Structure 1
Amino acid sequence: MAGIRFARFRQTDLEMKPLEEAARHLKAGRLDEAARLCLEVTRKAPENSRAWYLLGNTRVGQKRHGDAERCYRRVLAVRPEFADAHNNLGAVLQLQEHSKRAAESFRRAIALMPDYAQAHCNLGVALRRLGRLNEAIQCQQRALEIAPDYAKAHYNLGNALKEACEAEAAIAAYRHAISHNPDHAEAHNNLGTVFEGQGHTPMALAEFSEAMAMDQDYVEAHYNFALLHRFEADDPTLDELHRLDRQPGQNPQNRNRLAFALAKAKADLGDYDGAFSLFTQANARRRQRLSYDRSTEAQETDAIIAEHTEPGTRLPSAEVSSAPIPIFVLGLSRSGKSLVESLLATQAGVFAAGESEHWQRLRRAIKRKAPAQDISAELGAAYRKEMQRLSKGARFVVSTLDTNIYSFAQIAAALPEARFILCWRAPLDNALLIYFKRYERGHSYANEFGDIAHFMAARARLQAHWQNLYGERILSVRYEALVRDTAAVAAKVAAHLGLKLDPNIPLPVFHDDEIDGWKPYDKHLQPLRAALSDGE
């Protein structure tokens, strides 16, 4: 049970025979029996903190997290100094997605027991989910100072480093987790996602396969494998997806993952009607819980355009020469940003930061300290320092986070040395590829054709505005040209960036099979065509 501490009770702590039996039932997984005995004790002795603690642990096992929370609060009302109860309360708050309150409970546990490795680890998880990645990394490192062999802390350190776009450090952390717990399926899976992000497809598939072998019911690993795997007739991997899909009790998130994976498999096998049907069903389910507000998106776009009617003043900086030159690759999801990044990453002196959120995180942190001030100069200096640390001496650092487009004017002013590349793709292909992708977070517009078209139109207005103001600093790259004539586009990109391409390094080979990818689905696309036409 994630994050839960099972305290060892001394014999004197278990004075009542029912609690001894309850503890044995809990250890053996007989949760209903454990709960029944604990409840008997609490009815007779409402202040018995041991009974409430055991009952809380049992409720966690039963996935009754609200009940578990109430049990731990009953414990702490009697024993406020009980560090394990504070830790477990934080864990169930985290399971209910109350990360801020969870962090407070973990801090109380640590105050009572400073060398409590599990509480440090749990606090790191909560802080990561709150977006406070540097603090999250420090918490996991502190847990490992206390318990160097703590596989869970290595794993959670890897998760924080991965989210901070520190891929090599994340890989090392996941490998440490696996070395201390060779059967850590989640570490293999997440290591695979890092390799996938680096473009190392065979290595990613190998890690997903390891995770699947360790846990045959691990849906996320099967899903990740399916996205990279090319399905063929009588494919045993497809049989496994169907087996998982037939299993009762799959949570909605995993059920949705399986629907996207099966749709992708049908497309690989040429059953485009079946694939489209599954994609439509899966997106409809996601749209039930993800709401895209067209009015808000339009208003935010209008506000940005109205605020920035002239190019901002570039800020001078004495630090520019020693820091890597930032390259911001902008554009819609699935427009070719990752291909541009992979092209650049082949060259020495280029660090690929992926969808790095460093600019946004630094902006939020500095703005909290000085909400009424112009923070551009401080933000530019902080970003250069962070990229210098991250890139370890590289001359260029590439970020592909699509939401950087909203901060274009501020980035352009604060980082006068920055270069910008704007990626474009044929709208019908781009829209359909967005619809066929399951985003783990954000992209609330991606589940319905009308929403996708609306978002694309709003984004096109904003991109055109920045091109009008900052045209000389922006290079437009068409996806179709990039994959069909990579050498010519690479030369233009290099000239724009001031990058000398090494003739001894072969350029990556891109395939054009996704161009006109809409054609097999043509009979289903009239609503999308109409929506794109309305948005023009």
Structure 2
Amino acid sequence: RRWPDAASLHLALGQLALRRGDRHAALAALERARALNPDSLDCYAALLHLVPLAPDGPEAARILARALDHRRDDAARARALFLLGQLQVEAGRDRTGFVYYAAGNRLTADAIEERKREYHVPERLLRMDRKTFAASARSLPPCPALVVTGLPRSGKSLVEGLLAEHPAVTAGGEFAGLRRAVADTRPGDLSARLGAAAAGGHSPFAKAYREHPLAAGLFDEGGAAGSDAGHRWLVDSSPANLPRLGYFGLLHPEVPVVLCRRRAADLGLALYFKKFRSGHGYSYDLAAAGRAIARAERLIAHWQAVLPNPVLVVDYEALVTEPDSMRAKLFAHLGLAPPPAPAAMAGDEPGKQRAEAPADWRLFPSKSPGAGSAPDPSLLGFAGRFADELNPLVAAYEAERH
């Protein structure tokens, strides 16, 4: 009320409503933001969760003008190109859309340091085996983290949403607690630091999660996680946790881990169509993305084989085609009884649940579903529309695997 014409505030309200799953409030706020600032790329990106934009309409013309404006930095121009790609692909103009995506990816990749254009899995991680964990001392208080990890676009948000249906589970988003905990330690010094932490009865990982904005009530007054009788979990779905799981397992073998994976072509396309705010430099080149997927799959298989933690591997394809079965497996993994299914919408048949009708939340490979959305199989095989364009990704993926 104090700033009715502040476009940035209406945009923030719309984005917040999207995260809450309130479609109607989101649309109202975003439409107001667009009216106040019709050049906002962030506003168009948010609106595309809810409504289509015509590929030849005035909005597309404004976005194109941003992409062609060489006075703007490369990141802003690339963002516009990614949006134009989505508009074209959603209109069925796949070849034109891919051209826009390729241009946006090239522009983004050119600004990334060469060493950051690949997904690296250090050999020291693959040398960790069951003996590594059997030899480590563990006498630490429990940690409330529930680690859900994998590459971006692999189904982590869907898993987090299903888990958060239970009152004992809090959706914590991509907090990257494992990375935060060891960010100030050189890789060569990690073993010594973690050994000293175990000997002293404290954990840098638990300390990191105490700093989460939603951690209130998850720790007792002494800083330890609550007792098992009343255990509560805080989900951390950051991809950055995947390569650090071994270090986490040395101190907290009791914490459940969920590893997410997805078929290479669909995952690779989703990565290539995504303009990340930061990181994931491998995603802007098709061959590098293919290698990244193969390397992440190898690391997932390795952690599944050697971690002392309870590990559940979730395939995106099973998640979206058999959501009830996967929901039961996820809660069994935590030792929790599944909560009642979310209330059905008025007029729906019993068993057809969720807060919004599926049509209310628009799906696209580069976007996470809206809060409260049901797993939806409509994106399975989406990469088949771009089989020729994805040849470099598939070839690099197969070469890396073998």
Equivalent residue runs for 1:148-187 within 5 Å? 180-187=2-9
Shift of 1:462: 1.7
Residue 165 of structure 2 is aligned to residue 346 of structure 1 = yes
Shift of 1:395: 1.5
Sort the Cα spacing of 1:416 and 1:386 in 2 relative to 1 into closer, same or farther, 3 A. Answer: farther
Question: Residue 227 of structure 1 contacts residue 264 of structure 1 at CA under 8 Å; is this kept in 2?
Answer: no
Shift of 1:236: 5.1
* Counterpart for residue 428 of structure 1: 265
What is the CA deviation profile of residues 374-422 of structure 1, one whole-angstrom value per residue up to 9, with x for unaligned ones? 3353314424544596254582211100111121122223223311111
* Counterpart for residue 84 of structure 1: none
What is the CA deviation profile of residues 288-337 of structure 1, one whole-angstrom value per residue up to 9, with x for unaligned ones? 11135389854x521222255635236223x43xx6x3211111111100
Distance 1:287 1:295 in 2: 7
Residue 340 of structure 2 is aligned to residue 521 of structure 1 = no
SS in 2 for 1:355: coil
Shift of 1:518: 0.8
SS in 1 for 2:377: coil
Taking structure 1 as the reference length, the TM-score comes to 0.59
Sort the Cα spacing of 1:261 and 1:486 in 2 relative to 1 into closer, same or farther, 3 A. Answer: same
* Counterpart for residue 111 of structure 2: 289
Distance 2:386 2:24 in 1: 29
* Counterpart for residue 253 of structure 1: 75
Distance 2:5 2:114 in 1: 40
* Counterpart for residue 450 of structure 1: 287
Distance 1:480 1:389 in 2: 30
Distance 1:220 1:233 in 2: 17
Question: Residue 260 of structure 2 contacts residue 315 of structure 2 at CA under 8 Å; is this kept in 1?
Answer: yes
The number of aligned residues is 352
* Counterpart for residue 302 of structure 1: 123
Sort the Cα spacing of 1:192 and 1:244 in 2 relative to 1 into closer, same or farther, 3 A. Answer: same
SS in 1 for 2:123: helix
Residue 87 of structure 2 is aligned to residue 262 of structure 1 = no
Taking structure 2 as the reference length, the TM-score comes to 0.77
Over the matched positions of the two proteins, sequence identity in percent amounts to 25
Question: Residue 223 of structure 1 contacts residue 257 of structure 1 at CA under 8 Å; is this kept in 2?
Answer: no
* Counterpart for residue 330 of structure 1: 149
Question: Residue 314 of structure 1 contacts residue 412 of structure 1 at CA under 8 Å; is this kept in 2?
Answer: no
* 1:419 maps to amino acid: P
Distance 1:463 1:533 in 2: 17
What is the CA deviation profile of residues 109-153 of structure 1, one whole-angstrom value per residue up to 9, with x for unaligned ones? xxxxxxxxxxxxxxxxxxxxxxxxxxxxxxxxxxxxxxxxxxxxx
Distance 1:495 1:252 in 2: 47
Q: Larger RCO: Structure 1 or Structure 2 (Cα < 8 Å, ≥ 6 residues apart)?
A: 2
Distance 2:119 2:280 in 1: 12
* Counterpart for residue 207 of structure 2: 382
Shift of 1:534: 1.1
Equivalent residue runs for 1:469-508 within 5 Å? 469-470=306-307, 473-506=310-343, 508=354
Sort the Cα spacing of 1:492 and 1:444 in 2 relative to 1 into closer, same or farther, 3 A. Answer: same
Distance 1:205 1:534 in 2: 45
Distance 1:273 1:386 in 2: 46
SS in 2 for 1:265: helix
What is the CA deviation profile of residues 424-471 of structure 1, one whole-angstrom value per residue up to 9, with x for unaligned ones? 111111011101111110001011111111222222222221111027
SS in 2 for 1:406: helix
Shift of 1:494: 0.7
* 1:454 maps to amino acid: R
Distance 2:118 2:106 in 1: 21
Kindly report the root-mean-square deviation, in angstroms, between the aligned alpha carbons of the 2 structures.
3.0
SS in 1 for 2:48: helix
Runs of at least 5 residues in structure 1 that lack an aligned partner in the other structure? 1-178
Greater helix share, structure number: 1
The structure that has the greater radius of gyration is 1
Residue 193 of structure 2 is aligned to residue 373 of structure 1 = yes
Distance 1:471 1:309 in 2: 7
Distance 2:289 2:251 in 1: 32
